[in-house]
A and B are shown apart, each in its own frame.
Chain A
Amino acid sequence: MSASSGSGVSTELQVAAKVVELVRELAGRAAEAEVNVRHRALALTRFANSAIHQNVAEATTGVRLRLHLDGRTAAGSTTVTSVDGLRSLVERTLAAARVTPPDPGWAGLTLPAALHISAGHPGSGEHSGLAFGFDEATARATPAERAERVRAFVDAAGGLETAGYCRTEYVSAAFANTAGQAVEGRTAEAAMDGIARNNGADGVARLAAARLADLDGAALGARAAAKARAAAAPIELPPGEYEVVLEPTAVADLLQNFSVFGFNGKSYTEKQSFAELGKEQFDPSVTIVDDPLGSRGEPAPGLPFDDEGTPARSLVLVREGVTKAVTHDRTSAAEAGAESTGHAAATSRSWGAFPAHLRMEAGPPVTGTPGEPAAVVESARPFLAHMRRGLLVTDLWYTRVLDPKTLVVTGLTRNGVWLVEDGEITRPVGNLRFTQSYPQALGPGRVLGIGAESVLLPDSWGGAHYASPALHLASWNFTGNASG
């Protein structure tokens, strides 16, 4: 399960070393080069109308070279990993570097550094027992194993129409540069995401895990179906400010937008982010960590190094309401007078480096009557009892930023909304549009409660994970309903 070719370049680290060797041969010792090699085996079994309708798998290897020579920089990539293919990549990238305009922002190469075994955050790294989240059985999962979980999801929905996917992914990666850094790692991930449908009312359940064995298709199908049944025949509510309980699936969207637009080091240095280091921008109950190495019972299976070879580590972004850090690659770090936080990606020089494994720390266990509705995530139930009139929201959808600086976002609810009155769910509600500043919603005094469990959730596009608790917020600005 690694990169291979007919010419003897067989593992990711060997491919990376070969490219470094070719750079030395073709460009001389003055050239600075960094090489990323990723072998990816992705398989996804997709279902709709309660049947598998798309069932795909791929096994690909990509090699990316970034080269800096005489003050100029160019990058190139290829999927052709034969020696001829690698030589062509080096020649092409070298030719580009020789004619491109000067690059005054080049921040140099990562010097040799060991990978972090313990990420420095309580309970993470070696204590997770996950070896960077890698599970051999997940890496080798078969179409039949994925289909079994789909079967269980469909059956558990009790006759409701279902749709969704079961996904497994294995990545084996290596990095090498001309400064001597050479590291490798591998990860495996599984995810399941599905809805049940009940006469136009949908309910959802989704979960990511480092092990396919941890995904229970029947439990997820039952949750989605309970939501869909409870969401039938919704009423329409007028727009306005409502107290809300957001389930973890909805909170993941907040984390995603904080990640891309708020904690992005480039946005921060360009003054396009809300983030102000050292300032109390969130409620004191809020702590947000980026944890690519996994921690506690919530593994986040990222690679142990970034695209510049910088070792990944746990990073506290918000501690008890105070913004403590933003994420950098070498370029934005140099501009900010900081150090890389290990968040470089292929596009981070253009789009900025942002955290891909955010976790909002769970709140303390809540005592009291948790309530029984199966349609509600368990950790969200205690908050309903404290609500006089508000909305329980399962999911957010199609969120887009209106202003990056204030992080005002518009989007819609999806997959189940209910009106809560005097501590009880009284009616399902049709989807609503909102226009809301995300940091303002979590600002000091605005967070009334944080769920006692952070749930690991997959990103729609893969490659990122968000460990999210339920949130009880003082208000959320709904600006439209089904009528417009």
Chain B
Amino acid sequence: MSHFDEAGAAVQAALDAGARYADARVMVCRTESMTARNGSVEDLGSDESAGLGVRALVGSGWGFYAVPDLSEPSARAAGRRAAQIAAASAQVAGPPVELTPSAPVTASWASECKVDPLSVPLSDKGDLLVRATTAAKEAGADLAQASYAVWDTRKWFVSSEGHRIDQHIRECGGGVTANAIGDGEVQRRSLPGQYGTRGWELVEELDLIGNAPRLAQEARELLTAPLCPSGETTLILGGSQLALQIHESVGHAIELDRILGWEAAFAGTSWLDLSKLGQLRYGSELMNITIDPSFPGALGSFGFDDEGTPAAKRHAVRDGIWVGVLAGRDSAAVAGLDYAGSVRSDGWARLPMVRMTNVGLEPGPHTLDEIIAATDDGVFMETNRSWSIDDRRLNFQFGCEIGYEIKNGKRGRMLRNPTYTGIGPKFWQSMDMLSSETVAWGTPNCGKGQPGQVGHTGHPAAPARFTNVRVGVHG
């Protein structure tokens, strides 16, 4: 069933009410999630949401309105309302708004999916989570939790410039966590939550049941492991931790709306200065970061963004030099750039805005074993436990679930409460070894915007080594 007519009615109504540009998205979203704890299913939810969001540009002011009613009269009323809101923006008007050109496209796109996640029986899914948490509990976890989530999104996009695009995007993923609770602290080990624009085959590949006992044993061992020592050392990061490092200290920093100050009051700005684009050294020559929504199966993959721009790969950092940004059509025009393609909304009721797609690190020449073997003295950390970074995306501090001493090229003692801190460009410039073992990690909980939106982003990454990093920051 197509919803182009309703989207088109909203766009036309906005134009009739004075808009010089309008676009509308009808979205029908189904989500399913389940959590289990200590051998029992704790929560099972199956949600359906359908509605229309319309964006109108009147003069130099934007307006957006969203309704859950998909009838054409309701769509037309929403279009008029969006134009009214846009007109009110003129009370505190900014400079003229232009849109970087985007060729009108009529297209249809669907993500690849071997096993439809919503077709897998709930009893099988429940059994998987029950068995995984039971296995962790039996192996010594005080608290074992497992979960999965499925998102099935269909959307129809129409713009006043002639775009008519429908997409069907299916995403899923899951994880298992084992907690060991001591007298004074809690230790956690988890299979890094792995999510992608793929089918249920992704969850099956995770082997939640097989990994659960190891995680439980590690969590319990952590309670008596020595504290990660404090000081400067060589740091080796596992792939999933590096994925979050990319997300926080590169992905958000290269968002053009932040660079332009559009997020200054909440998410923050960026340390990057547009006048330095193409010249600024962001990291070492090993650092090649790409923006690639066409990456197969990653969580930030799509055919077209929510402004109708086709997915395309481009570099954000090439050989350590900053060369690209995540942009939308209006922000690109302000910056004088000729590309957009990174605008997304988390549902029909939210304004599309600049978001990460798949922002990842191109593979390096080494393996993790080679990196460890080449390290005389350092710490290996993996699996994120906490993350914090300043509003310019410079000063970060991460905590990981587990660390290991590296001595004379070998992995040594387990270390508890490993943390590291640093300043983005200094940290990236210290990257001197990078693995080729890339995995497309997914972050399903990226918060941004007001009202808040939760974005799904992908981060291809492999283990890497950094020198002279401050570790062991404790309270």
Binding site for B on A (CB under 8 A): 5-6, 42, 44-62, 73-81, 88-89, 92-93, 96, 99-105, 142-144, 146-148, 150-151, 154, 161, 163-165, 167, 193-195, 197, 202, 204, 270-272, 346-347, 349-350, 397-406, 408-412, 414, 431, 433, 435-437, 460-462, 477, 479-480, 482-484
Question: Known contacts A102-B40, A436-B475: does B92 contact A52 (CB below 8 Å)?
Answer: yes
The 8 Å CB contact of B89, one of A55, A79, A399, is A55
Contacts of B399 in A (CB 8 A): 400, 402, 410
* A44-B421 Cα distance, complex, nearest whole Å: 36
A148 and B45: CB pair below 8 A? no
Contacts of A54 in B (CB 8 A): 62, 64, 262, 351, 353, 450
Name the residue in A197, A436, A461, A480 with the highest tally of chain B Cβ atoms < 10 Å from its Cβ: A480
Question: Quick check: is B374 within 8 A (CB to CB) of the other chain?
Answer: no
- Count residues of B near A (Cβ-Cβ below 8 Å): 87
The 8 Å CB contact of A58, one of B263, B349, B385, B474, is B349
* A57-B130 Cα distance, complex, nearest whole Å: 42
Contacts of B122 in A (CB 8 A): 96, 99-100
The 8 Å CB contact of B265, one of A61, A74, A104, A164, is A164
Residue in chain A with minimal CB distance to B66: A58
B91 and A147: CB pair below 8 A? yes
* A207-B85 Cα distance, complex, nearest whole Å: 23
The 8 Å CB contact of B45, one of A76, A80, A193, is A76
The 8 Å CB contact of A398, one of B84, B389, B475, is B389
B386 and A402: CB pair below 8 A? yes
A350 and B35: CB pair below 8 A? yes
B181 and A52: CB pair below 8 A? no
* A59-B452 Cα distance, complex, nearest whole Å: 16
Contacts of B143 in A (CB 8 A): 270, 272
Q: How many A-B residue pairs have CB under 8 A?
A: 282
A147 and B43: CB pair below 8 A? no
Question: Quick check: is B438 within 8 A (CB to CB) of the other chain?
Answer: no
* A343-B91 Cα distance, complex, nearest whole Å: 41
Question: Quick check: is B126 within 8 A (CB to CB) of the other chain?
Answer: yes
Interface membership of chain B positions 412-436, coded 1 if the CB is closer than 8 angstroms to chain A and 0 otherwise: 0000010101110010000000000
A435 and B473: CB pair below 8 A? yes
Residue in chain B with minimal CB distance to A103: B41
Contacts of A164 in B (CB 8 A): 265
Residue in chain B with minimal CB distance to A484: B423
Q: List 23 A-B contacts (CB under 8 A).
A: A48-B263, A48-B264, A49-B94, A52-B92, A54-B450, A56-B451, A57-B65, A57-B85, A60-B67, A74-B45, A76-B46, A100-B126, A147-B88, A151-B91, A151-B92, A194-B265, A197-B261, A400-B387, A402-B386, A403-B417, A406-B475, A410-B388, A412-B395
* A52-B86 Cα distance, complex, nearest whole Å: 9
Name the residue in B81, B89, B419 with the highest tally of chain A Cβ atoms < 10 Å from its Cβ: B89
Task: Determine how close the nearest CB of chain B comes to the CB of A160; give it in whole angstroms.
Answer: 12
Residue in chain B with minimal CB distance to A40: B349
Question: Quick check: is B224 within 8 A (CB to CB) of the other chain?
Answer: no
A93 and B264: CB pair below 8 A? no
Question: Quick check: is B184 within 8 A (CB to CB) of the other chain?
Answer: yes
Contacts of B41 in A (CB 8 A): 73, 100-103
The 8 Å CB contact of B50, one of A79, A96, A147, is A79
Which chain B residues in 45-92 approach chain A with CB under 8 Å? Answer: 45-51, 53, 61-69, 71, 81, 84-86, 88-89, 91-92
Task: Determine how close the nearest CB of chain A comes to the CB of B18; give it in whole angstroms.
Answer: 14
Interface membership of chain B positions 353-388, coded 1 if the CB is closer than 8 angstroms to chain A and 0 otherwise: 100000000000000000000000000000001111
Task: Determine how close the nearest CB of chain B comes to the CB of A260; give it in whole angstroms.
Answer: 14
Residue in chain A with minimal CB distance to B427: A484
Contacts of A92 in B (CB 8 A): 46, 48
Question: Known contacts A54-B62, A55-B64, A59-B67: does B262 contact A93 (CB below 8 Å)?
Answer: no
B89 and A60: CB pair below 8 A? no
* A104-B184 Cα distance, complex, nearest whole Å: 30
The 8 Å CB contact of A77, one of B45, B349, B470, is B45
Question: Quick check: is B123 within 8 A (CB to CB) of the other chain?
Answer: yes
* A480-B351 Cα distance, complex, nearest whole Å: 36
B42 and A76: CB pair below 8 A? no
